[in-house]
Structure formats: structure tokens, C-alpha cells
């Protein structure tokens, strides 16, 4: 049966109704009937071909919530009708060392939901069953959708870098990813500082769990935070004065970069050498990371703050993200 989606036919193009035939369902595949799809900044970057890997027609959408509509013969779990989610990754080889150690995001043959295949701005979307994950009952669908990419991307580095409640942490960029990162860190017991362009989001960041706030534009507040944080996560889609953030780390502190500006980083090695600091990249993690993240979110009441749009208003919804005014994640709802 044909899938009804929204696709752009060229870089920076409008999303228009687009129908495609998905072909026979593979034995390890699941077809999801989409009820909700969050809009990540990466959807916008892919639409605009900012990373040079987009293929058109491009159907964005990789923060999917829906129900299992069909499944291949080899899929033993995931009953028809089960509520499930799908994030950035939709497949992998399943037998390399990375897949076998629950680090499928590092598989050389990893397949991403909107790269060279069609994503969740559609009535249905397909993925390998391993990447289709049950959603805990405590999480409402619209508020859970952004957890599938934004939540996963900020939670996975916390696992990898052993973030714990003794740490002083900071989140740079209070957008879709950042507002969820503040919640995860605060609920872990960390001290959390929100670092944002201006003081506009101060009150809301504190209501999400931040105990202090730094505004960067036209202030010296960041410079005053020298040597303060064990862990900083940058979710900003633009280049930053990276050396100032490295200076804001305590000895052996870690700066994790998940926001994806398309620009070189100029960093001085000496502060890193002398105080044993680390600059690390982070990306949306494996299914096991997502499962643990969803469980943590359900038990600790971590939810995205969302603005809902019907699928038919997808271009307005994309424009809302582009404007930078969304508080904090735009979600399409069927």
C-alpha cells in the first residue's frame, strides 16, 4: 500500500504531498502508523543539504511515535497496535563488533531514518525492528516524540561520560535538545547551569531544573564561569568561542559537542594538556541507550515542552523551528 508523505524535491524547497510505494516489507522490518513526529534541527539541516548528504525527494522526520501497523515474519515481539517510537537510526548490519556490543550507532553500515530513505513526515514509516522501541505508558505521545532524537542525543553522552549527581554541569543552547538536557541532568542530581544567548529563557530554564543561568551575547558572564563545570554539553547549531567553554571546565572536565555546525573548531591544546580536559563528540545513541533513556524519562517525569501542528501545516511548523522562536520543540500530530 502506498505511503503518503511530505517531501521536498530540492534543497531548501517547500514540503509537498508525496506518495511512494515502499515495496514488500522485509522479514525484520516494522511498519509504523505515524501519530506524531517531532521536528529536529537536523531535519532542517537535511532539507537544506547543509551536510552534503541529502537526496531528493527528501521526506524528513526522525522523532516518530506511532503504532505497529505491520511487521515482517522474523519480528517476534512488537504486536500489531503496540505504541512505538523511531529515532535517527533505522538499521545496522547486526553482526559487527559495534552492533554486538549495543553500539549500533557506530556500525559502518548504519542506516539513518532520513538519509537515502524516507522518514516520518508521513502516514507510515518503516525501520528494522531493532530500532523500533516500545514507549512507556507514562509518556504522552506528543511529549515523548522529541525524546527519540533530542532526548537520546543528550542522554547517551551522560551514560558514556558517567555523569552523576556530584557533577557541576552546563547546557549550552536551550532549544529542542537543550531543554531536555537540563531536565535529564537536574533529575540525575547534577548542578545545572543553562547557557543561552540572552536572559529570555532564564525563568523557564530554572523551572526545568537549572539552578543558574548564563547569557552569552554582549556579556562577560561566561568568562566569569572559568573553571566551574565538570561537564558541558553544547547543543548549539552554530560555531561558538570554544576556548571560552574549555576554560569554563574544571580539571578533567568534558565538553561534549552534539550541536552540529558545519565549521572547523579552533582550540588551543595547552589548557587541555595542563588540566587534562576532554573535548568529545556525541551523537544519537543505540536502541539500548534509547530504552534506558525512555525508562528514566518515564520514572522521572522528563517530557519535552511542545508546540503542536497538524501534518497539513508542515511548512509552517518548519518555519517555526527556523525562526528560533519555538518553545521548545515543534511536533506534528496526525
Residue numbers of the site for ligand NAP (CB under 6 A)? 40-42, 45, 149-150, 153, 173-178, 196-197, 201, 235-238, 258-260, 282-284, 324
Partner from ligand NAP, Zn ion, none contacting 171, C-beta within 5 to 8 A by type: none
Give 40 or 142: the residue with its C-beta nearer to Zn ion: 40
Residue 212: its H or E element? strand 212-215
Rg (CA), the chain: 20
Task: Tell the smallest beta-carbon distance from residue 207 to ligand NAP (Å).
Answer: 15
318 lines the binding site for Zn ion (CB under 5 A)? no
Asked whether the beta carbons of 93 and 99 are under 8 A apart, the reply is yes
* Angstrom distance (rounded) from CA 97 to CA 279: 25
Partner from ligand NAP, Zn ion, none contacting 54, C-beta within 5 to 8 A by type: none
Paired strand residues for 215 = 196
How much of the chain is in helix, strand and coil states, percent to nearest 5? 30, 25, 45
Whose CB is nearest to Zn ion? 40
Site for Zn ion in 148-187 (CB under 5 A): 149
Give 119 or 209: the residue with its C-beta nearer to Zn ion: 119
* Angstrom distance (rounded) from CA 179 to CA 328: 7
39 lines the binding site for Zn ion (CB under 5 A)? no
Give 258 or 332: the residue with its C-beta nearer to ligand NAP: 258
Site for Zn ion in 60-119 (CB under 5 A): none
Partner from Zn ion, ligand NAP, none contacting 265, C-beta within 5 to 8 A by type: none
* Angstrom distance (rounded) from CA 212 to CA 218: 18
Whose CB is nearest to ligand NAP? 175
Give 19 or 200: the residue with its C-beta nearer to ligand NAP: 200
Paired strand residues for 332 = 37, 309
Asked whether the beta carbons of 143 and 34 are under 8 A apart, the reply is no
42 lines the binding site for Zn ion (CB under 5 A)? yes
Give 207 or 252: the residue with its C-beta nearer to ligand NAP: 207
40 lines the binding site for Zn ion (CB under 5 A)? yes
Partner from ligand NAP, Zn ion, none contacting 235, C-beta within 5 to 8 A by type: ligand NAP
* Angstrom distance (rounded) from CA 56 to CA 58: 4
What order of strands is seen across the sheet that includes strand 229-234?
212-215, 191-196, 168-172, 229-234, 249-257, 278-281
Asked whether the beta carbons of 256 and 161 are under 8 A apart, the reply is yes
Give 162 or 323: the residue with its C-beta nearer to ligand NAP: 323
Give 117 or 199: the residue with its C-beta nearer to Zn ion: 117
Helices (H), ranges, the chain: 41-47, 97-100, 141-144, 150-160, 176-188, 202-207, 242-247, 269-274, 287-300, 314-323
Give 7 or 40: the residue with its C-beta nearer to Zn ion: 40
Close Cβ partners of 120 (under 8 Å, ≥ 6 residues apart): 32, 34, 37, 59, 60, 61, 62, 63, 64, 66, 86, 113
Task: Tell the smallest beta-carbon distance from residue 330 to ligand NAP (Å).
Answer: 9
The residue range among 46-54, 109-117, 142-150, 268-276 that interacts with Zn ion, by the rule CB under 5 A, is 142-150
Give 42 or 183: the residue with its C-beta nearer to Zn ion: 42
Task: Tell the smallest beta-carbon distance from residue 268 to ligand NAP (Å).
Answer: 21
Partner from ligand NAP, Zn ion, none contacting 234, C-beta within 5 to 8 A by type: none
Asked whether the beta carbons of 46 and 63 are under 8 A apart, the reply is no
Task: Tell the smallest beta-carbon distance from residue 114 to Zn ion (Å).
Answer: 9
188 lines the binding site for Zn ion (CB under 5 A)? no
Binding site for Zn ion (CB under 5 A): 40, 42, 149
Amino acid at each position: 500500500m502506498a505511503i503518503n508523505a511530505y517531501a521536498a524535491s530540492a534543497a531548501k524547497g517547500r514540503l509537498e504531498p508525496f506518495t511512494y510505494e515502499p515495496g514488500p516489507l522485509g522479514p525484520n522490518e516494522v511498519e509504523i502508523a505515524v501519530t506524531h513526529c517531532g521536528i529536529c534541527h537536523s531535519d532542517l539541516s537535511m532539507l537544506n543539504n547543509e551536510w552534503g548528504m541529502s537526496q531528493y525527494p527528501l521526506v524528513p522526520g526522525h522523532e516518530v511515535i506511532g503504532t505497529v501497523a505491520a511487521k515482517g515474519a522474523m519480528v517476534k515481539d512488537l504486536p500489531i497496535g503496540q505504541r512505538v517510537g523511531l529515532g535517527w537510526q533505522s538499521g545496522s548490519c547486526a553482526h559487527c563488533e559495534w552492533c554486538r556490543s549495543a553500539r549500533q550507532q557506530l556500525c559502518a553500515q548504519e542506516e539513518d531514518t532520513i538519509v537515502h530513505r524516507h522518514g516520518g513526515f508521513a502516514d507510515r514509516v518503516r525501520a528494522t525492528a531493532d530500532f523500533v522501541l516500545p514507549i512507556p505508558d507514562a509518556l504522552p505521545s506528543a511529549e515523548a516524540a522529541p525524546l527519540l532524537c533530542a532526548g537520546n542525543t543528550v542522554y547517551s553522552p551522560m551514560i558514556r561520560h558517567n555523569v552523576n549527581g556530584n557533577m557541576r554541569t552546563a547546557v549550552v543552547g536551550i532549544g529542542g535538545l537543550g531543554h531536555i538536557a537540563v531536565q535529564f541532568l537536574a533529575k540525575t542530581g547534577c548542578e545545572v547551569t543553562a547557557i543561552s544567548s540572552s536572559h529570555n529563557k532564564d525563568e523557564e530554564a530554572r523551572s526545568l531544573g537549572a539552578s543558574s543561568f548564563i547569557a552569552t551575547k554582549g556579556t562577560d558572564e561566561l568568562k566569569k564561569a572559568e573553571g566551574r563545570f565538570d561537564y558541558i554539553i553544547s547543543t548549539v547549531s552554530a560555531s561558538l568561542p570554544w576556548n571560552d567553554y574549555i576554560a569554563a571546565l574544571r580539571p578533567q572536565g568534558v565538553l561534549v559537542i552534539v550541536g552540529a555546525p558545519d565549521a572547523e573548531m579552533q582550540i588551543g591544546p595547552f589548557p587541555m594538556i595542563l588540566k587534562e580536559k576532554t573535548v568529545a563528540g556525541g551523537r544519537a545513541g543505540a536502541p539500548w541507550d534509547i530504552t534506558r533513556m525512555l525508562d528514566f524519562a518515564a520514572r522521572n517525569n522528563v517530557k519535552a515542552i511542545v508546540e503542536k501542528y497538524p501534518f497539513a501545516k508542515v511548512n509552517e511548523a518548519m518555519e517555526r523551528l527556523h525562526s528560533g522562536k519555538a518553545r521548545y520543540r515543534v511536533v506534528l500530530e496526525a
